Amino acid sequence: MDYIKEFSESDRFAKLLGIELLEVSKGYAKAKMKIRDIHLNSVNTVHGGAIFTLADYTFAIAANSHEKISVALNVNISFLKAVSEGTLFSEAKEMSINPKIATYNIEISNEKGELISTFHGMAYRKDKFLK
Amino acid sequence: MDYIKEFSESDRFAKLLGIELLEVSKGYAKAKMKIRDIHLNSVNTVHGGAIFTLADYTFAIAANSHEKISVALNVNISFLKAVSEGTLFSEAKEMSINPKIATYNIEISNEKGELISTFHGMAYRKDKFLK
Amino acid sequence: MDYIKEFSESDRFAKLLGIELLEVSKGYAKAKMKIRDIHLNSVNTVHGGAIFTLADYTFAIAANSHEKISVALNVNISFLKAVSEGTLFSEAKEMSINPKIATYNIEISNEKGELISTFHGMAYRKDKFLK
Amino acid sequence: MDYIKEFSESDRFAKLLGIELLEVSKGYAKAKMKIRDIHLNSVNTVHGGAIFTLADYTFAIAANSHEKISVALNVNISFLKAVSEGTLFSEAKEMSINPKIATYNIEISNEKGELISTFHGMAYRKDKFLK
């Protein structure tokens, strides 16, 4: 899946945050983000926006793994546990797919395996292709 | 509301993205973010994570404007229109508040007033205070 | 909008709950439901499913007011206040619309004007028409 | 768990819809609903409100299985496939729990095992007990 590597490489916002792709297959993606000072909010925990971005990145990779261009329509995210240090992992799994709509469950956990956040994304599948 | 200025100043992730607070009052906040190359994703539009962060920032300011420390429990975000340049604005309004739970509707629009995204956040209000 | 009347009349589940349409225009709908014993849950308050149904009914009417058949993709609902008696009102307003996707904000309140629940719905617009 | 049986029996709205509890354990519940004419909407498929109610019922049973009274704060539901006949099953699993907040993933499927809907619920745990 070379086009996915390219797809991932050109994501400047994910790069800014230090997100690294670990694994990808059809409808699946896993990534990590080492927590740094830049990710922190006013109360010294990882910003909801940084957690969202890590999850959204795996959502985008998983949704675009079928080569059809997919864009996010809607996301629901729950914040379960605040975290300040260590490494975050995000894993996206496809729940459903039809010609126009696909949905994904994403779990964000830390290096101890504690669940930090859950993310449910719905994507719209365009009639255009990535390559 | 000097403590809100301090609260906002110490948000390193919002700073990284170039988010600026425009207005704050009890249960209300408005902010802007000039779109830059760092905000873009693989298809050259503003990353969902950057839009989320701008909205989440105003959600946090509005929720913490009552001085009680408030943390995000859940967010639902809809992406209505892709955008690549210009300035994004986010406006957070309080929908409901009780001793433990408060909810906010946030609208993200561009400088032409087009609606880019809607964000609905639920916060848990702790028994601790910001100052 | 006679086809909307017909559309509403044929909704057997809404009828079972006693939901009445009060008003409809392009992208807008308002309805009410008098609380009865059948709507109650185990703790003697109106069941989340009954509140959801009232809101969903106005969501469907508003989304189908443009004559194109629209189906719900995703809903986010927040429960703000428990209620046991009186009458519930639901008002749906269109937030965005494009050829394929439309979104709606719905507010459910009681006869005192207290906000009971907020509901955010996203609909998929088919290439078929209601009449 | 006799108090759960009582809890379930007193849910008049679930009874109206013909929902039957199949299984319950700590943080888990499974139920079914045979599709009948009363569940249908204007386009002759099961009403979103009926699907929501079946899922919400298992959410409530799972959340209250710990004996502490739990109430729904927020739900996100995705509608993946329309259905008109047969039997629907809902299965609720606990994703996270702390003294105040618990979250559940619920899957609704039909008798062929096809995924009809996914439901993500967040509950607030009161300092009161069911028995």
Q: What is the pLDDT of residues B97-122, one digit of tens each?
A: 999 999 999 999 999 999 999 999 99
Which of A73, A74, A76 best tests the D interface by mutation, with the highest count of D CBs <10 A? A76
Question: CATH number of B2-129: 3.40.50.10090, 3.40.50.720, 3.10.129.10, 3.40.50.2300?
Answer: 3.10.129.10
B47, B73, B129, best to mutate vs chain A, most A CBs in 10 Å: B47
* Average pLDDT estimate for B70-92: 98
Chain C residues at the A interface, defined by Cβ less than 8 Å, are: 73-74, 76, 100-101, 122, 124
**pLDDT value at residue B2:** 78
Q: Calculate how close chain D gets to B92, using CA atoms only, in Å.
A: 19
User: Measured in whole angstroms, how far is the alpha carbon of residue C94 from the centre of its chain?
Assistant: 12
Interface residues of B toward A, Cβ cutoff 8 Å, are 7-8, 10-14, 16-17, 37-43, 47-50, 52-54, 56-57, 60, 69, 71-79, 82
Contact assessment for residue B77 and residue A75, using Cβ atoms and an 8 Å cutoff: yes
C130 C-beta neighbours (distance < 10 Å), count: 17
Closest by Cα among D86, D100, D25, D97 to D54: D86
Contact B122/D76, CB-based, under 8 Å? no
The residue of chain D with its CA nearest to that of A107 is D95
Residue position matching structure tokens 């009403």: D47
pLDDT in tens, D14-54: 999 999 999 999 999 999 999 999 999 999 999 999 999 99
Of D100 and D131, more confident: D100
- Which residues, 6 or more positions from D27, have their beta carbon under 8 angstroms from its beta carbon? D62, D65, D66, D93, D94, D97, D102, D104
Reported as a single tens digit per residue, the pLDDT across C45-64 is 999 999 999 999 999 999 99
Mean per-residue pLDDT for B53-80?
Answer: 96
Q: Which of C114, B51, B98 is nearest to B59 (CA)?
A: B51
Average pLDDT over residues C69-75: 96
**pLDDT for res B131:** 64
How confident is the prediction for chain C on average, in pLDDT? Answer: 95
Residues of chain A found within 8 Å of residue D122, distances taken between Cβ atoms: 78
pLDDT value at residue D3 = 82
List, in order, residues 6 or more apart from B112 with CB less than 8 Å away: B86
Contact C73 A74 (CB under 8 A): yes
Contacts of B41 in chain A (CB under 8 A): 11-14, 60
Contact, B91 vs B27, CB < 8 A? no
For chain A, list residues with pLDDT below 70. 131
Starting at the earlier edge strand, list the strands of the sheet with A115-129.
A19-25, A28-34, A87-97, A101-110, A115-129, A68-79, B68-79, B115-129, B101-110, B87-97, B28-34, B19-25
Residues B41, A16: C-beta atoms closer than 8 Å = no
C-beta atoms of A122 and C73 within 8 A: yes
pLDDT at residue C131 tops 70 = no
Q: What percent of chain D has pLDDT over 70?
A: 98
Residues forming a β-bridge with A71: A124
What average pLDDT does the segment D84-101 reach?
97
Tell me the residues of D at the C interface, defined by beta carbons under 8 Å apart. 7-8, 10-14, 16-17, 37-43, 47-50, 52-54, 56-57, 60, 69, 71-79, 82
Nearest residue in D to A73, CA atom: D78
CA atoms within 13 A on the CB side of D32: 9
Asked if the model's pLDDT at residue D131 lies above 70, the reply is no
Q: Which residues of C touch B (CB under 8 A)?
A: 76, 78, 80-81, 95-96, 98, 101, 103, 105, 115, 118, 120, 122
**Cβ separation A47–B56 shorter than 8 A:** yes
Rounded Cα distance, D30 and D56, in Å: 11
Query: Which residue among D96, D118, D120 sits closest to A115, beta carbon to beta carbon?
Result: D96
Nearest CA distance, B6 vs chain C (angstrom): 31
Give the pLDDT of residue A28: 98
Chain B partners within 8 Å of A60 (Cβ): 41-42, 48
**Average pLDDT of chain D, as a whole number:** 95
> In the 3-class helix/strand/coil scheme, how is chain C assigned residue by residue?
CHHHHHHHHCCHHHHHHCEEEEEEECCEEEEEEECCHHHECCCCCECHHHHHHHHHHHHHHHHHCCCEEEEEEEEEEEECCCCCCCEEEEEEEEEEECCCEEEEEEEEEECCCCEEEEEEEEEEEEEEECC
Note the ipTM here. Answer: 0.96
